[in-house]
Amino acid sequence: MANATVTRVGQANGAGDVDALFLKVFAGEVLTAFDTDNIALGRTQVRTISNGKSASFPRSGLIGARYHVPGQEITGQTMNHNEVVITINDLLIADAFIANIDEAKNHYDVRSIYSTEVGRALSKQMDKHILQAGVLTARATNVVTGLPGGTVITQAAAPDATDGLKLAANLFAAAQKLDENNVPEDGRTAFFRPAQYYALAQSTTVINKDWGGAGAYADGKVLRVAGIEIVKTNNLPGSVIAAGTVAAGTGDRLAGDFAKTLGLVTHSSAVGTVKLLDLAMEGAYDIRRQGTLLVAKYAVGHGGLRPEAAVEIRAF
């Protein structure tokens, strides 16, 4: 009896690794899940480097205007300069092992489940690190002498973390502070956990269109307050992040006490992200374990650039 001709749909042009195309599909699914869940990366200053362990972001101060005295030589003014160095964290990975026997028994597609969870894991950790960096930036002094540092606004009047009107008032106070610090209006974002976000959404004053509000009570959405885009996230830090943990980042640069943090307002220039190794996928079949090991990874770093462009809203 003649053997059947088998078409291996995972091969590229009928040759080579029988899982080559499957891995590409998996990698695409991971990237899709990462992009879908990631909210903070696009709201930072991103720089990609090809080698090295850090990147330098130049900072400069301000030059004042002055009247000229006729006949006096113009020699120029001094301006303060400094730099902010953002260091790459260690390689962060999310991995999964799919056993052949399990894949054979399953009556549903396990690849898409694993790829989605791997992508979400990396996206979630990146968001957490960026938002931690944002809060720490709001607490920091400026590296350039003469420029203002970050701002911390304490929830007014009572330790009520879910009072929509008070939260809105603090957003206006944050907008005022950013204006006073000459931070552009375009590119401002406020990050809140669901409890604070829905408190704002339930405030009819905030979303009242007669008052110029933007949002929908029926949909539970609030779009903008004081010109600031409102974003809901579970990744805003809300506890003590101890040293020596993944959450603290390499060298514990993102560790801190965030137990009273209610919200974060930033301009896109407040936090910087440096990419050494962008999101990538690797996969290999392990004959000894009769399964496929799949690893998603990236090597990036995050840090504060402009403290004057970050405001933390916190509880008593």
23 within 8 A of 293, measured Cβ to Cβ: no
40 within 8 A of 127, measured Cβ to Cβ: yes
Q: Is residue 74 part of a domain?
A: no
Q: What's the total number of domains in the chain?
A: 1
- The domain that contains 29 carries what CATH number? 3.90.1690
Q: Residue 102 has what pLDDT? A: 72
CB crowding 188-198: b at 16 or more within 10 Å, else e: bbbbbbeebbb
* Start-to-end CA span in the chain (Å): 81
d(C-alpha 270, C-alpha 174), whole Å: 14
Q: Residue 7 has what pLDDT? A: 42
Look up residue 20 and give its two tokens: 């080559």
Q: Is residue 203 part of a domain?
A: yes
Q: Is residue 117 part of a domain?
A: yes
Look up residue 34 and give its two tokens: 């990462």
Look up residue 14 and give its two tokens: 């009928």
Q: Which helix (H) or strand (E) holds 166?
A: helix 164-180
d(C-alpha 12, C-alpha 63), whole Å: 60
Q: 296: closest CA among 26, 25, 89?
A: 26
Q: Is the pTM of this model over 0.85?
A: no
Q: Is residue 122 part of a domain?
A: yes
Q: Residue 21 has what pLDDT? A: 53
Q: Is residue 254 part of a domain?
A: yes
pLDDT by 10-residue block (mean), the chain, 316 residues: 46 56 65 82 90 82 77 78 84 85 67 80 93 97 90 73 86 96 94 92 63 54 86 95 94 95 95 91 83 87 94 91
Q: Is residue 309 part of a domain?
A: yes
d(C-alpha 300, C-alpha 54), whole Å: 9
Distance of CA 154 to the CA centre of its chain: 23
d(C-alpha 253, C-alpha 250), whole Å: 7
Domain boundaries, position 45: 20-57+83-314
Q: Is residue 12 part of a domain?
A: no
Neighbours of 94 (CB within 10 A): 21
Q: Is residue 275 part of a domain?
A: yes
Q: Name residue 212's amino acid.
A: G
d(C-alpha 28, C-alpha 263), whole Å: 33
Q: Residue 162 has what pLDDT? A: 80
Q: Residue 22 has what pLDDT? A: 55
- Sequence-separated (6 or more) residues with CB below 8 Å from residue 97: 289, 291, 292, 293, 294
